[in-house]
C-alpha cells in the first residue's frame, strides 16, 4: 500500500473515543495538572478545602487540554507533514479544523479560568490562563516555527501550573513554590529536546528549528545534561527550607535517574538514548511531584 492509499484508508476509518480525547493531549494535560497539585502541596500554610483543591486541579487540567487542542488545531498543516503526527484527526482530515472547534476550545478555557477563580482566587485564575496562553499562543503561534528557543520559553506553561496551585493556598507565592516552578521551567526543554533528537528527520523536513537541528545532536545533548543537572540540584533546595525526608529521597532518586540517562545521551546522542532520556524525564517529574504530595500528606505542612 502506497502513502496515498494509506491516507485514504485512514480517512475512511471512524474516529474512536481515544482519538477524540487525544485532541486534548491528555498526557500533557495530566502532567500539567500534577504540577499544579505539586505547587499546592509544597506551599506552606493550611490547605484549602478538598473540593477547592480538586476544582483548581481540574481547572488546570481543562486549561491544559484546551491549550493542547488549540495546538493541534493551529498546527494541522504541520502535523499532516510529520510521520509522528500525521494520523491525528485534524491533520488527517478526518475531523474538520473549522472555526467551531476554535470557539469550543475558547469556551473550555473560559470555563477553566472561571473555575480556578471560584475555587481558588484571582491569582489562581490568572496563572491558569497564562499557562494555556503560553503553550497555545506564545509557543505554538509565535515561537515554534521561528526560533530554537521555542520550548525554552514554552516551558513556562508548566511553571504557571505550579503557581496556579500555590496561589490557591496563598496568593503570595512562597519561595518553595517558586523553586518548584523553576524546576518545571528547566525540566521542559530537555524533555522536548530529547524527543526532538529522536524525531529530528520530521522536524528537519518541515523546517522547525528545534535545538538539535540548529546546533547538532551532540551539543544539544550536552545542553540537555546541563539543564538536567541544574534542575536536579535546584529540586533539592526545598528540603533545606523545610520539606521532609520523603521529599528529599524522591528528589535525590529522581534526579539521579534523569541525570544518568542524560549522561548516556551526552556520551552517545543516538535516537535510542534520546527516547530513553525522554522517558527518564517523565519518570523524574512523576517521582518528584509524588514526593511533594507524599511529604505533605504524611509529614504535614512546612513549618
Q: For position 227, what pLDDT does the model report? A: 97
Residue 86 has pLDDT above 70, yes or no: yes
Which has more pLDDT, 207 or 222? 222
Q: 106-120: per-residue pLDDT in tens?
A: 999 999 999 999 999
Cα(298)–Cα(303) distance, rounded to whole angstroms? 14
What's residue 104's pLDDT?
96
Centroid of chain to Cα 8 = 33
The overall average pLDDT reported for the chain is 92
pLDDT tens per residue across span 5-43: 444 445 556 788 888 899 999 999 999 999 999 999 999
Q: 3-class SS at 200?
A: helix
Query: What pLDDT score does 301 carry?
Result: 65
CB 210 within 8 Å of CB 194: no
Q: Which strand (E) or helix (H) includes residue 133? A: helix 122-133
* pLDDT higher than 60, residue 101: yes
Indicate if the pLDDT at residue 97 is higher than 70.
yes
Q: Calculate what percentage of the chain has a pLDDT beyond 90.
A: 82
Residues 6+ apart with CB under 8 A from 83: 202
> Is the per-residue pLDDT at 121 higher than 80?
yes
Residues whose CB falls within 8 Å of the CB of residue 84, separated by 6 or more in sequence, listed in order: 199, 202
Summarised one tens digit per residue, pLDDT across range 231-278 is: 999 999 999 988 899 999 999 999 999 999 999 999 999 999 999 999
Domains in the chain, please, with CATH?
14-171 (1.10.357.140), 174-303 (1.20.120)
Amino acid at each position: 500500500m502506497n502513502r496515498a492509499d494509506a491516507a485514504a484508508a485512514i480517512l475512511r476509518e471512524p474516529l474512536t473515543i481515544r482519538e477524540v480525547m487525544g485532541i486534548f493531549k491528555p498526557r500533557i494535560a495530566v502532567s500539567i495538572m500534577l504540577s499544579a497539585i505539586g505547587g499546592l502541596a509544597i506551599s506552606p500554610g493550611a490547605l484549602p478545602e478538598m473540593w477547592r483543591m480538586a476544582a483548581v486541579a481540574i481547572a488546570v487540567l481543562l486549561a491544559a487540554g484546551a491549550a493542547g487542542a488549540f495546538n493541534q488545531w493551529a498546527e494541522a498543516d504541520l502535523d499532516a507533514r510529520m510521520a509522528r503526527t500525521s494520523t491525528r484527526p485534524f491533520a488527517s482530515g478526518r475531523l474538520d479544523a473549522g472555526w467551531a472547534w476554535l470557539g469550543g476550545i475558547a469556551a473550555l478555557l473560559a470555563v477553566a479560568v472561571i473555575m480556578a477563580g471560584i475555587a481558588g482566587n484571582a491569582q489562581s485564575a490568572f496563572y491558569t490562563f497564562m499557562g494555556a496562553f503560553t503553550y497555545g499562543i506564545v509557543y505554538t503561534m509565535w515561537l515554534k516555527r521561528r526560533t530554537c528557543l521555542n520550548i525554552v520559553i514554552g516551558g513556562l506553561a508548566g511553571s504557571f501550573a505550579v503557581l496556579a496551585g500555590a496561589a490557591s493556598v496563598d496568593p503570595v507565592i512562597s519561595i518553595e513554590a517558586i523553586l518548584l516552578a523553576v524546576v518545571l521551567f528547566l525540566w521542559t526543554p530537555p524533555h522536548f529536546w530529547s524527543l526532538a533528537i529522536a524525531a529530528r528527520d520530521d522536524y528537519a523536513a518541515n523546517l522547525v528549528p528545534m535545538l538539535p537541528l540548529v546546533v547538532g545532536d551532540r551539543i544539544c545533548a550536552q545542553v540537555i545534561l546541563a539543564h538536567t543537572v541544574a534542575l536536579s540540584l535546584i529540586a533539592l533546595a526545598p528540603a533545606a527550607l523545610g520539606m521532609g525526608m520523603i521529599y528529599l529521597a524522591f528528589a535525590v532518586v529522581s534526579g539521579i535517574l534523569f541525570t544518568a540517562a542524560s549522561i548516556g545521551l551526552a556520551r552517545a546522542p543516538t535516537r535510542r538514548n534520546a527516547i530513553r532520556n525522554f522517558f527518564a524525564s517523565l519518570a523524574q517529574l512523576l517521582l518528584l511531584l509524588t514526593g511533594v504530595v507524599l511529604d505533605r500528606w504524611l509529614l504535614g505542612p512546612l513549618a
